């Protein structure tokens, strides 16, 4: 699989300022992206005045969370203790998974990192723009943090981005503790967190068996659907390897399509998977998706809460989905009888009123 260049992501592109090197370099090589990016930049920032969801008291909650994440991201890397503690990979894996769970991880997996799990080049921050990603530590521990269902079911209101930003904060703390612990044992470790990933988190999580990547382009788990945020710690401490799982999500997505139907930016494809860079998958239109975020003032979340898995599906049923159209249709009927296309809680939680 071809490595993804972080410079091409919307989060990176929106950080490029006219007159600065990243802006001039990127658009000289990608002139087709210039006009659409200019149009998006003219819109208000997420959680900012002028967006549909803006609230002068509530919107700064998410802004504060992201600023906190920015302030601590330099702690993602550090020097290892000079003395290595001999550690069997079975014991190491057990300790790290247990510690991640203790600090709030809902799902945890370990794996041998592949080349395509890492970005090819960095792009999110001008200080490291264009740097090749070469620190390819060989093992990874990836974990998912569940997001509150009722907060996500208020998407795309401000409650949704308060919950997603909280998910990123929680994941960053878990990753910090794990990476600090590994370095205390004498091994190298890096925490990959919001705005400071060297890895493509959904690919890592999928290969470690946490879930599968569905039509909406993000990880879908059996237990929580798409209502998760991901964190990753890479290390040279040898770990056991978990295996990918296949619970029939591709078959389910082919028959469902809720996320494509409800997407306000029409950014999620409605057809079958296509061959993209050598692998069959669905690919969202990241420009129209992010453009809608800037109008809403939140990171939307409608594709997350419209996924039937996010609302809870009978686990016994899930295990019958692969190559079983009847089981999937039965599950979809039960879901739509209850929610139609997606649940929506109109009112804010009491503490935000």
Report pLDDT digits (tens) over 31-83.
999 999 999 999 999 999 999 999 999 999 999 999 999 999 999 999 999 99
Above pLDDT 70, what percent of the chain?
100
Give me the torsion for CA of 4, 6, 7, 13, rounded to 10°. Answer: 120
Within 8 A by CB and 6+ apart from 275, the residues are none
Closest CA to 199 of 266, 257, 269, 115: 115
What pLDDT is stored for residue 280 in this prediction?
87
3-state secondary structure of 17: coil
Cα 72 to Cα 75: distance, rounded to the nearest angstrom: 6
CB burial of residue 112 (10 Å; 0-12, 13-18, 19+)? middle
Cα 79 to Cα 184: distance, rounded to the nearest angstrom: 9
CB burial of residue 271 (10 Å; 0-12, 13-18, 19+)? exposed
Contact indicator for 211, 205 with CB cutoff of 8 Å? yes
Output 317 or 197, whichever has higher pLDDT. 197
What pLDDT is stored for residue 197 in this prediction?
98
8: its two tokens: 């091409």
Q: What is the CB-side half-sphere exposure of residue 173 using CA atoms within 13 A?
A: 13
Closest CA to 165 of 47, 59, 62, 302: 62
Contact indicator for 265, 228 with CB cutoff of 8 Å? no
Cα 44 to Cα 293: distance, rounded to the nearest angstrom: 10
Give me the torsion for CA of 136, 137, 143, 145, rounded to 10°. Answer: -60
Per-residue pLDDT for 9 more than 90? yes
Mean pLDDT over residues 262-291, rounded?
93
Within 8 A by CB and 6+ apart from 280, the residues are 273, 274
What pLDDT is stored for residue 279 in this prediction?
82
- Going by pLDDT thresholds of 50, 70 and 90, the confidence category of residue 277 is confident
Query: Which residue(s) pair with 280 in the sheet?
Result: 275
């Amino acid at each position: 699989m071809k490595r993804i260049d972080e410079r091409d992501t919307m989060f990176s592109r929106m950080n490029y300022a006219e007159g600065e090197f990243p802006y001039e370099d990127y658009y000289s090589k990608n002139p087709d992206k210039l006009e659409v990016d200019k149009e998006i930049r003219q819109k208000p920032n997420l959680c900012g005045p002028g967006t549909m969801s803006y609230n002068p008291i509530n919107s700064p909650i998410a802004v504060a969370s992201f600023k906190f994440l920015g302030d601590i991201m330099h702690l993602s890397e550090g020097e290892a203790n000079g003395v290595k503690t001999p550690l069997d990979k079975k014991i190491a894996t057990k300790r790290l998974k247990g510690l991640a769970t203790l600090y709030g991880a809902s799902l945890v997996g370990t794996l041998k990192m592949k080349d395509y799990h890492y970005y090819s080049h960095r792009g999110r921050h001008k200080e490291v723009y264009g740097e090749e990603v070469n620190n390819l530590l060989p093992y990874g521990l990836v974990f998912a943090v569940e997001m509150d269902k009722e907060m996500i079911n208020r998407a795309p209101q401000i409650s949704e981005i308060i919950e997603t930003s909280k998910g990123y904060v929680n994941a960053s703390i878990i990753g910090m503790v794990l990476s600090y612990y590994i370095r205390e044992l004498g091994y190298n470790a890096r925490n990959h967190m919001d705005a400071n990933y060297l890895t493509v988190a959904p690919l890592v999580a999928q290969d470690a068996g946490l879930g599968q990547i569905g039509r909406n382009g993000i990880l879908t788990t059996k237990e929580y659907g798409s209502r998760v945020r991901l964190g990753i710690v890479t290390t040279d401490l040898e770990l056991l390897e978990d295996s990918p799982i296949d619970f029939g999500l591709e078959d389910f997505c082919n028959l469902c399509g809720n996320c494509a139907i409800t997407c306000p930016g029409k950014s999620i494809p409605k057809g079958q998977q296509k061959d993209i860079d050598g692998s069959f998958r669905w690919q969202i239109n990241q420009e129209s998706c992010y453009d809608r975020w800037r109008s809403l003032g939140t990171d939307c979340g409608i594709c997350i809460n419209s996924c039937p898995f996010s609302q809870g599906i009978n686990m016994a049923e899930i295990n019958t989905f692969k190559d079983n159209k009847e089981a999937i249709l039965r599950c979809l009927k039960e879901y739509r009888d209850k929610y139609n296309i997606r649940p929506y809680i109109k009112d804010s939680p009491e503490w935000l009123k």
